[in-house]
Amino acid sequence: KRNRKITRNVTCVLPCCALRDCFLCCAESLSEVEEKYKKAMVSNAQLDNDKANLIYNVDTLKDVIEEMEEHMAELRRETEDKSKELERQKHTCAILQQKQVELKEGIRRRDEHFAKHGLAIIPEGMPNGDINHNDPATGITVVTQEAAQVLESAGEGSLDVRIQKLADEKDELLAQIRKLKMRLEDERQKHSKMENAFTDGARMENAFTDGERMENGTDLHFIEMQRDANRQISEYKFKLSKAEQEMGTMEQNINRLEGQVSRYKASVDNSEKIEDELNIEKRKLQRELRIALDKIEAMEMTNNHLVKRLEKMKANRNALLSQQ
């Protein structure tokens, strides 16, 4: 209506051509305004969309930041736990090192004790007499110096082989003693027979008078028999004394060997017991030390990894905050 009023007024004042031109200008201006309005509406809609997208991105980034902060807090707790565990493992490692020092001191004292009491340490060889230096299971045996000399005299080989050799030597000596006893018994029997014969001859000599001996012609023969009997008795006495000396020497050697073997077995049993205990303690400490070192290494790697992740998360957070 307003436009019609304006047009009617203009019609009254202006000519028709001017009115047409004015109308066209108004129409063009109106179309331009409408076009600008449409563009503005489109721009506003696009801005609204951009704003909504930005708000969504901001909310998403806030959620990400919250998750990263929670994850960072969790990583901090894990780092603290790992650090505490690392300190405990370091303490355990220090204790194991102290035990190792104590064991070394105990070994030194053991060596001094062995040297003071004249004990010797010999390795337990292989069945062929060799010693395996690379095998940690190869043990040692503590014996006296006298037992060590006896073992050296037994030749090469493992301890069982040497003990078996000593036992064989003992059996041989016992067999020789039995033979000597049998010979001694035989000599004693022969000696008793000769003494009986000599006694009978003496009785016969006393029974006959000198005249009867000369008459029977038996004096020379009897004297010869007496000389032979005396000579045989002297020989048997010498053999008997020699056999008794040999038997006494053999018995002394057997007693000495038995004493050495018994002492050696006792020292071997004691040393094997001590060695087993030391080997068990050594393996236990080595295993604990190895486990502790592995845990410390793993914890250090985990700690370094967590520190790197924490630094990376801090950098990402700072970048997000700077973008906002």
For residue 37, being part of any structural domain is answered with no
Buried b (16+ CB within 10 A) or exposed e, 61-85: eeeebeebeeebeebeeebeebeeb
For residue 40, being part of any structural domain is answered with no
Between CA 183 and CA 246 the distance in angstroms is: 12
Between CA 42 and CA 121 the distance in angstroms is: 102
Between CA 246 and CA 256 the distance in angstroms is: 15
Token representation of residue 144: 């006296």
Let me know: does 302 contact 81? Beta carbons within 8 Å: no
* Of the candidates 197, 182, 179, the residue with the CA atom closest to the CA atom of residue 233: 197
* Of the candidates 103, 111, 49, 121, the residue with the CA atom closest to the CA atom of residue 267: 121
Q: What is the pLDDT of residue 31?
A: 82
- Between 43-47, 87-91, 133-137, the lowest mean confidence (pLDDT) is in 133-137
Confidence of residue 307 (pLDDT cuts 50, 70, 90): confident
For residue 139, being part of any structural domain is answered with yes
Domain with 169 in it: what CATH number?
1.10.287
On whether the pTM is more than 0.75, the answer is no
Tens digits of residue pLDDT in 15-29: 556 677 777 778 888
Residues in the chain: 324
For residue 8, being part of any structural domain is answered with no
For residue 153, being part of any structural domain is answered with yes
Residue 216, CA atoms < 13 Å, CB-side half-sphere: 12
Let me know: does 271 contact 140? Beta carbons within 8 Å: yes
For residue 47, being part of any structural domain is answered with no
Tens digits of residue pLDDT in 86-126: 888 888 888 888 888 888 888 888 777 777 766 666 655 54
Let me know: does 141 contact 263? Beta carbons within 8 Å: no
Token representation of residue 87: 């300190």
| Angle at alpha carbon of residue 74, lines to 69 and 76, rounded to 5° | 95
Domain of residue 141: give its range: 91-323
How many domains is the chain partitioned into structurally?
A: 1
Average pLDDT, the chain: 72
For residue 137, being part of any structural domain is answered with yes
Token representation of residue 8: 């009617």
DSSP state of 122: E
